Amino acid sequence: MLKSLSIKNYALIDTLEVSFSEGFTTITGETGAGKSILLGGLSLVLGKRADLSSLMDKETKCIIEAEFFINGYHLSDFFGKNDLDYADTTIIRREILPSGKSRAFVNDTPVTLDVLSALGGRLVDIHSQHQTLRLTENDFQLRVIDALADNAGYLETYSKKLSTFKTAKKELEALQELQQTADKEHDYHSFLLQELEAAPLNPGIQKTLEEEQGQLSNAESIIESLSQGSQLLKNEQLGLVEQLAELKRIFNNLANYGDAYKTLHQRLESVLIELQDVSSEIEGLEELVDMNPNRLEEVNGQLQTLYNLQKKHQVASIEELMAIKDGLAQKVEEVANIDSKIAAKNSEVKELEANLEREADTIREHRNSVIPKLKSFLLQNLAELGMPSASFKIDIKPSEHFKPNGKDELTFLFSANRGSDFGELKKVASGGELSRIMLTIKSVLATYEQLPTMIFDEIDTGVSGEISNKMGDIMQQMGETMQVFSITHLPQVASKGSSQFKVYKRESDGKTHTQIKQLTEDERVVELAEMLGGKSISDSALAHAKQLLKV
């Protein structure tokens, strides 16, 4: 419920602060006093777009703040989804800067206008002429029927199953689409895969082959260099090994003459061992080097295959080719098994569809069961609202397609007078008739749903007397289970509120300002008397006002 509203620098409002209570509250005031301004300010804090024309003082920012008690509105998931701090008492603030920019906050956390609008729609339902047109939409009409039918749980189950069904159907369509293109691509993918499978694709293979190619291509030169090196090392008289061995023998005799000579002898011994090892390795390499033109041709062929594949697939490494091969293998396998996959998915879709159909049938049965109750309720209340000849023709039939709220086609026809043809509400009902029908339907929803705060903006326009009295009764009854506001020009409706506020204008500093105040019991009597008879209040008007207030 709306606990308080604070408005600064908006339209004709300089500063305004007002607190509200639960139940049914009426708001009155002369035409042009600013009731629409008050409603406009509240609309801004609920997510309506704003512009600079909203500012009273163009050099100062406009601030609108509303405090709500939201326990029981089941909004914790909404707050969590939008990274907002949940609190039973929630404060929404909207700021409009002189630059034209707008900022919004929920419990001091900045939010986008879309989030603010979504939250506002779950906190306050402002009923205007535009909102009355929703009455003519099938989705809204079904919502009313579902409220009476207590279909909320069935609709939630249906919605989950519909989502699962749609997902499975999309997967089936994707498989079928893949099958259509599979025949064209399968042969090509298989050919590419065979090419890659025939190639020597192993990590490091390209580097190994390139090294082997270099050795085979230069075998004669390698052998010649190794042979020369071996000769330099092992020549009996001039070889490095023999000369180093002689040098070691010379210093062997000196090793006994001090540590310096001993260390030098040890170093020569280490060098000799290393040189002998190098000589042995050169001999081993000489034996391994093979002048093999056949192997060279084979290596060249393998490398050329790898180079061609890299160029063809526009990659630069063996690892990338291996990844492409794995991807092609997966595609070829998918196509090979696609028929069985389609059959399995098709069976799954049919089973899900059958389950969904059963849920839709249950929802339809419940809807049909409460249509007589809804018609009776509407006719009874509309008769009391001055429409004794109103009648409805409401039919529900299975639809060909699953919809978000079931699988039904709804026919909701109306006739205001006996003997008149039935027609769609938007075509045959007048604005006043639509307002009365909407009020009656809202009273149904208030009984069966947890509705947000509801504000009726002059829903009683065009009616008077006993009809206005009955409309006031309906809103008063709604106020027993929820917070209801009625902006009204009718004293019969205004008197029904458990509290009454008056919107008025005052002038100061050469400017006109809109204000609102809660009326005391005596002030309500005067206000109602003025609504009944004008500024010149008669004794009969005062008596009538007291009678309306039962004081």
- Quick: pLDDT tens for 450-494: 778 999 988 887 777 788 889 999 999 999 989 999 999 999 999
What distance in Å separates the CA atoms of residue 26 and residue 410, rounded to the nearest whole number?
36
What distance in Å separates the CA atoms of residue 490 and residue 471, rounded to the nearest whole number?
10
Residue 220 forms part of a structural domain: yes
What are the residues whose beta carbons fall under 8 Å from the beta carbon of 237, sequence distance 6 or more? none
* Percent helix / strand / coil, the chain, rounded to 5: 60, 20, 20
From the list 64, 95, 6, 15, the residue with the least C-alpha distance to 513 is 15
Residues 116 and 38 grouped into a single domain: yes
What distance in Å separates the CA atoms of residue 128 and residue 90, rounded to the nearest whole number?
25
Per-residue pLDDT for 366 more than 90?
Answer: yes
What single-letter DSSP state applies at residue 481?
T
Residues 196 and 330 grouped into a single domain: yes
Residues 295 and 192 grouped into a single domain: yes
Mean pLDDT score, 239-245: 77
- Residue 219 Cα to chain centre, angstroms: 69
Can you give the pTM of this predicted structure? 0.67
Residues 122 and 188 grouped into a single domain: no
Per-residue pLDDT for 237 more than 70?
Answer: no
What single-letter DSSP state applies at residue 40?
H
| Location of structure tokens 């009313």 | 144
Residues 96 and 202 grouped into a single domain: no
Q: Which of 107-121, 212-226, 297-311 has the highest mean pLDDT?
A: 107-121
| Residue 24 backbone dihedrals phi, psi, to 5 degrees | -100, 120
| Location of structure tokens 């909102």 | 131
- Residue 10 Cα to chain centre, angstroms: 33
Residues 119 and 217 grouped into a single domain: no
| Residue 339 backbone dihedrals phi, psi, to 5 degrees | -60, -45
Neighbours of 94 (CB within 10 A): 26
Give the CATH number, domain containing residue 28.
3.40.50.300
The last residue of one of the domains, among 277, 307, 336, is 336
Residues 191 and 301 grouped into a single domain: yes
Which strand (E) or helix (H) includes residue 538?
none
* Residue 99, token pair as written in the block: 């630059």
85, 109 Cβ separation under 8 angstroms: yes
Residue 146 forms part of a structural domain: no
Number of structural domains the chain divides into: 2
Q: Which domain holds residue 57?
A: 1-127+453-519
Residues 205 and 106 grouped into a single domain: no
Residue 477 forms part of a structural domain: yes
Beta bridge partners of 94: 64, 104
| Location of structure tokens 């990844």 | 323
Query: What per-residue confidence (pLDDT) applies to 183?
Result: 67
What distance in Å separates the CA atoms of residue 481 and residue 227, rounded to the nearest whole number?
108
3-state SS class at 490: coil
Residues 331 and 462 grouped into a single domain: no
Render pLDDT for 83-97 as a digit per residue (tens, 0 to 9). 999 999 999 999 998
Residues 123 and 184 grouped into a single domain: no
Query: What per-residue confidence (pLDDT) applies to 420?
Result: 85
Residues 214 and 326 grouped into a single domain: yes
Share of the chain above pLDDT 70, in %: 96
Render pLDDT for 127-181 as a digit per residue (tens, 0 to 9). 876 666 677 788 889 989 999 999 999 999 999 999 999 999 999 999 888 777 7
* Residue 13, token pair as written in the block: 């409002």
